[in-house]
Amino acid sequence: MTDLTPNLPEIVAEISALFERYEQALIDKNVNVLDASFWNSPHTIRYALGENGYGFDEIHRHRLARPPGPGLKEKRIRLEILTLGRDLATVNLEFKVRGREIIGRQSQTWVRFPDLGWKVVSAHVSTMEGPRPW
């Protein structure tokens, strides 16, 4: 039977470190780290503001076109990491959008592959109008 124990501390720590590495790579426009974080597959999906990346190659092309810098995130509001067992995790971040009075949301689904390690298989970034928690 598959172990789906939620939030094993050592697995949460692994995912947290990978997420922070990814976030820093966005700021630095370190395409090598960004690419290494995602599963190199035509099945990988990343929805972002103004772009839909279907498959690793499309996602990579969007990354090359994106400028470096702090991007959308002015302030983190809430970060939630859920791990199930040792090989599946979700990361959800709510943030204040830089220079605007709207909320941003980011989600990632991470899978640990036996031969590749942890990779994002699906990701999404969006904004929403609504109550502001700041």
C-alpha 24, offset from chain centre: 11
CATH code, domain with 111: 3.10.450.50
Amino acid occupying residue 86: R
The total domain count for the chain is: 1
Q: What is the pLDDT of residues 120-134, one digit of tens each?
A: 999 999 999 866 665
Q: Is residue 71 in some structural domain?
A: yes
Which residues are within 8 A (CB) of 130 and not within 5 positions of it... i.e. 6 or more apart? Answer: 103
Q: Is residue 63 in some structural domain?
A: yes
Collapse the DSSP code of 61 into the 3-class scheme (helix H, G, I; strand E, B; otherwise coil) and give the result. helix
Q: What is the pLDDT of residues 61-112, one digit of tens each?
A: 999 988 887 788 999 999 999 999 999 999 999 999 999 889 999 999 999 9
pTM: 0.93
Q: Is residue 123 in some structural domain?
A: yes
Structural domain containing residue 107: 9-128
- H/E stretch holding 102 reads none
Q: Is residue 110 in some structural domain?
A: yes
Q: Is residue 133 in some structural domain?
A: no
Tokens at residue 106, please? 């980011």
Q: Can you tell me the distance from the alpha carbon of 121 to that of 119, in angstroms, rounded to the nearest whole number?
A: 6
What's the pLDDT at 67?
A: 82
CA torsion sign for 103, 51, 30, 100 is negative
Q: Is residue 134 in some structural domain?
A: no
Question: Residue 126: left (phi > 0), alpha (psi -120 to 50), or beta?
Answer: beta
